[in-house]
Amino acid sequence: MEIALVRLLQDLDYNQVSVTLLTAERQGPLLNMLPDQVAVRHCHFTSAFAYAIGVNDFSDCGTIRRSLYRLGRKLLTIASNDKRNLVYDYASSHIDDLPTEHFDAVLDFRGYGSLTTTLGVQLDADFHATWMHDEQMEWLPLAMPYLHGYDKVFCVSESVKHRFVEQASAYADKAEVLYNVLDADDIRRKASQPVPDDFAERPNKLVTLGRLLSQKGIDIAVKAAALLRQRGLDFTWLVLGEGDQRAELETMIHAYGLEHHFILKGRVANPYPYVAATDIYVQPSRYEGYSLALQEARILAKPIVATDIPSSREQITDGHDGILVRPDETALAEGIIRLLNDKSLCATLSSNLQGGRFDYEDQVRRLFTLIDDAKGSTRP
């Protein structure tokens, strides 16, 4: 979500727009990637408790205070309903510097039923929109009390829209698919840079981009890698990304003896040379909204093995421009072996991706059209 936001902001024409990024967090690793023209405003909380429960961040608390704050958040959550989210209502009431000026549009790009969804409806604007980034919507009740205040609920794929309409039918008329934008030319340019290590020289190269979280199925990938080793296959599988599951995954990798074959590379500033150099791009996700990593692999015309989940079916036609497999280690390993053993199929899959348009450049224009319609004006 954060990367998609950064790319959207980088795609804007700042001769035509001015942007204020309002964030409840005090810091973030991607702030230095924002265009210089973006004005960043951090919310000031008058209560440490309000900040902690609002952003679900208890890192500054001692052990006793952390326990008390978590208990307080839980009690407020239990007392909430689809009309009131007492956690966010309390947190937002203790922000003393919310913008008071009028905006053409307020875009809660973060979504995920976060505090920003609450803040968005409190700001004065002609047009309000919030985003749905994920098929799994267990967090949706957190956002329900505020959806009435939004003109549009943007879903990043058809599968996300379908899921949202199932879960929140009262707001079905507000739901609209708006794909995240990518700069395909920039991705290709970055991919042309040299690989900074010997990965390109290794046999049977596999790459996965994704956070180390259960959603991304990296544990499935580790088990699939163990099956590849049982078959006697020599390979190097890089996972580029970071997350809370690292320790658990490192334990699995060690248990299977995969230290030299399955490598958690961590967060890499420019992952695209690795994707360009790989023999196969592998996406083992359990669920997605609309995988940007899969989109990037398509832009680079790589042979792809992806789990057969609804959002993947929007990007991949099985056997035409990638192959789709069940989200389990056996099917994933079999799909990888199939492509490694069939160079002709790999060439066909890559060829069918050549020349395609995967960056959705028109989506920004669609967004501005909706904003202009709300304002009753026409942007040049």
Q: Tell me, what's the pLDDT at 59?
A: 87
How is residue 260 written in tokens? 């030299």
Helix axes 246-255, 218-230, angle to 10 degrees: 10
Q: Is the pLDDT of residue 3 over 90?
A: no
Rounded to an integer, the average pLDDT of 65-79 is 95
DSSP structure string for 53-93? HHHT--TTS-HHHHHHHHHHHHHHHHH--SS--HHHHHHHH
What are the extents of the domains in the chain? 3-43+97-181+360-376, 184-355
Amino acid residing at 308: D
pLDDT recorded at residue 379: 44
Please report the pLDDT score of residue 359 as a whole number: 67
**184-355: CATH superfamily:** Glycogen Phosphorylase B; (3.40.50.2000)
Which of helix, strand or coil describes residue 153? strand
Q: What is the pTM assigned to this prediction?
A: 0.85
Non-local (6+) Cβ contacts of 209 within 8 A are: 239, 240, 241, 271, 275, 293, 296, 297
The pLDDT of residue 1:
82
State the pLDDT at residue 7.
85
Q: How far apart are CA 243 and CA 241, in angstroms?
A: 7
Adjacent-strand bridge partners of 108: 130
Percent pLDDT > 90 in the chain is 78
150 pLDDT more than 80: yes
Smallest Cα–Cα separation from 110: which of 45, 173, 54, 186?
54
Q: What gap in Å lies between CA 351 and CA 330, rounded to an integer?
A: 27
Residue 28 reports pLDDT greater than 80: no
The rounded mean pLDDT for the chain is 92
Mean pLDDT of 332-359: 92
- Would you say residue 377 has pLDDT above 90? no
| Rounded-to-integer distance, Cα 378 and Cα 373, Å | 7
Q: How confident is the model at residue 378 (pLDDT cuts 50, 70, 90)?
A: very low
Distance, CA of 147 to CA of 194 (rounded, Å) = 46
